Structure 1
Amino acid sequence: MPEINQHGQIVNDTVPDWKGAGVLTRTALNGRFCRLEPLDASRHAVDLFEAYALGDDSDWTWLASTQPASVAATAEWLQDKVADDGLVPFAVIDLRTDRAVGLVSYMAIERLMGSVEIGHVTWSRKMRNSAMGTETVWLLLKNAFAHQYRRLEWKCDSMNVASRKTAERLGFVWEGRLRQKLVRKGRNRDSDMLSILDTEWAERDAELRGWLAAENFDGEGRQVKRLEEFRI
C-alpha cells in the first residue's frame, strides 16, 4: 500500500527483499503444441524460409525486417538475432512436424527492474488457426515469471490492430501510446504499450491453461471455448 514518508510525501509500495530477476537463458521451453528451441541460423533457416514463403509482403508491414528472399538471406537475418547479446531468441517448432514455423525473442531485458519484453514476434502462416501462437506466449510468460520478473511487456505499431487485439486476448493490459517512438521503413511509428504484471499472472495463467487444455479442443483440433470465456 502507498504510505506517507517522513517528509509528508505519498510514496508507493515497497518491494521487500528485491534483488532483481533471474537470467533468462537460451534453453528450450516445451509445450503440448510446440517447442521453443534456442534459435540456430543453420538449423532453422530452411524451415523458416519455406514457412515465410507461404505468405507475402503484407505479413511484414509492421515489422522492422523485410521478408527474406532466399535461404541464405534467412540464415543471415537469423544469425543477427543469434549474435545479439540483448536478445534471447527462439524458433517455434511445430511438434506435429518437428519443423520451425516462427520465431520470437525476449528483448529489452531489465533484470534489476524485473522487466522484459516479448518481441521480434514473426509468425508464419503455418501458425494460423492453431494453438501454437497462444502456447508460445504462455510458455514465455510462465518462464519469465518463474524467473521473478515483475512485468512482461508487449509493444506494437499503433496501426497494427491485429497485434494489439492478440495481446489483449492473451491478457495484456493496454497502458498507452508512445507517440513518434520510431521511424520504421521511412514512416512514423507510434507504439502501443501493453503489459502483464506478476500480481496478475495467477489469473492469466489459469485462463491460458484452461484454454490450452486437451479437453478444450475437439477431434479436429478446434477450440471448444474461446479464451475470453475462461477470464476470471
Structure 2
Amino acid sequence: MKLNEFGQPVGEALPEWQPVEPPTISCIEGKYCRLERLDAHRHAESLYQAFQQSEDERNWTYLPYGPFTSLQDYRDFLVGMANKSDPYQFAVIDSATGNAVGTVALMRIDVTNGVIEVGHLVYSPLMQRTAMSTEVMSLLLEYVFFTLGYRRLEWKCDSLNAPSRAAAVRFGFTFEGIFRQMLVTQGRNRDTAWYALLDSEYSRLRVGYQAWLAPDNFDAAGMQMQRLTDFFDVD
C-alpha cells in the first residue's frame, strides 16, 4: 500500500498519464461487420426495416426512446442522434449484405480521466445471437483501449434488464453495484446496474476475443463451437 508523506494511503501514481482524445473514427472494419459513423440518410431505412423483423416491441422496453411507428419518425430521431458528438453513434453494417442491422454508441466521454461508456445498443433480430453482436464489442474494445488509450470502459443498464446484464458479464465486464432511483425512463423508475472493464483487464481478454471470432470456432450453420467465456478461462 502506498502512503504519502502524512502516512495516508493514496492511489497508484500515474506520472505518464495524459488526457486522451474523443472518438472521431468514421469506420471500424471487422470480419463479420463494420461500424460506420451513424448517418440518418444512409442508414435509417435499412435500420428501420431490420427492426421490423422483431415479433413484438420487447427490444425497446428498457430504452429511453422507441418503438417508432413510421420510418419518418425513426429518421427524424436518427438525425438528432447523428448530429451529436456524445453519444458518438455507430450503425452496425452486416458485411455479408451491406445493410445496417443495429446501432451502438460511445458516450459519457471523459477525456481527462480516460473513462468512456458503451451504450445505445439496439440490435435487430438480424444480428442478435450472431458473431456480429460479439464482434461489435471486440471492435469497440480495441478502438477504446488500444487506439485511443482509455483506462476504463463502462456498461450501464436497467437493473431489471437481465439479458443486458448477462451480456456485460459475458463480454468480460465486472459488476460494480446498483445506483438506486438513478433515472426516470418512459415514466418508470430505473435503478441502474453498473459494470466496467479496465485497460489491464482487456489486455488479458483480448486474445480470447480473437480466438472466439476465428472462423474455425463456427460450424457450417454459423453457430459457435465454444463460448466466449471458455476462451477467457484459458491462461
- Matched to 1:57, the amino acid is E
Distance 1:124 1:139 in 2: 18
| Matches of 2:41 and 2:98, distance apart in 1 | 15
Structure-1 residue corresponding to 2:29: 30
Q: How many angstroms apart in 1 are the aligned matches of 2:215 and 2:73?
A: 38
Taking the TM superposition and a 5 Å limit, the aligned residue runs for 1:1-232 are 2-55=1-54, 56-146=56-146, 147-232=148-233
The worse-fitting range, judged by mean Cα deviation, of 21-30 and 59-68 is 21-30
Report the alpha carbon displacement of residue 80 of structure 1 after superposing the two structures with TM. Answer: 1.3
Q: What stretches of structure 1 move > 3 A for 4+ residues in a row?
A: none
Give 1:129 deviation, angstroms: 2.5
* 2:22 and 2:109 in contact (8 A); partners too: no
Matched-pair identity in %? 41
Q: Tell me the TM-score normalized by structure 2.
A: 0.96
Distance 1:19 1:84 in 2: 25
Deviation at 1:26, TM superposition (A): 3.6
What are the superposed Cα offsets for residues 10-36 of structure 1, whole Å, 9 maximum, x if unpaired? 101111211112231142001001000
Distance in 2, matches of 1:128 and 1:122, equals 10
Is the contact made by 1:52 and 1:67 (CA closer than 8 Å) also made in structure 2? no
Aligned-residue RMSD, C-alpha: 1.0
Q: Deviations over 1:67-122 (max 9, x none)?
A: 11111111111111111222211000001110000000100000000000001111
- Partners of 2:78 and 2:210 lie apart in 1 by 31
Counterpart Cα distance in 1 of 2:185 and 2:208: 35
For the residue of structure 1 that corresponds to 2:194, the secondary structure is: strand
Amino acid at match of 1:223: Q
SS at match of 2:103: strand
The letter for the 1-side match of 2:103 is L
Please give the TM-score of this superposition, normalised by the length of structure 1.
0.97
* 1:173–1:195 contact (8 Å) kept in structure 2: yes
Task: Letter of the 1:220 partner, please give it.
Answer: A
Q: Secondary structure of the equivalent of 2:23?
A: coil
Structure 1's unaligned 5+ residue stretches are: none
Partner secondary structure for residue 11 of structure 1: coil
Structure 1 Cα separation of the partners of residues 21 and 187 of structure 2: 37
**Superimposed CA distance per residue, residues 202-222 of structure 1 (whole angstroms, 9 cap, x where no aligned partner):** 111111111111111112211
Q: Distance in 2 between matches of 1:15 and 1:198?
A: 14
Instruction: Give the letter for the 1:4 counterpart.
Output: L
Deviations along 1:27-49, whole A, 9 cap, x unmatched? 20010010001100000011011
Displacement of 1:62 after TM fit?
0.3
* Larger deviation, residues 32-41 vs 123-132: 123-132
Provide structure 2 residue ranges, at least 5 long, that are not aligned to the other structure. none
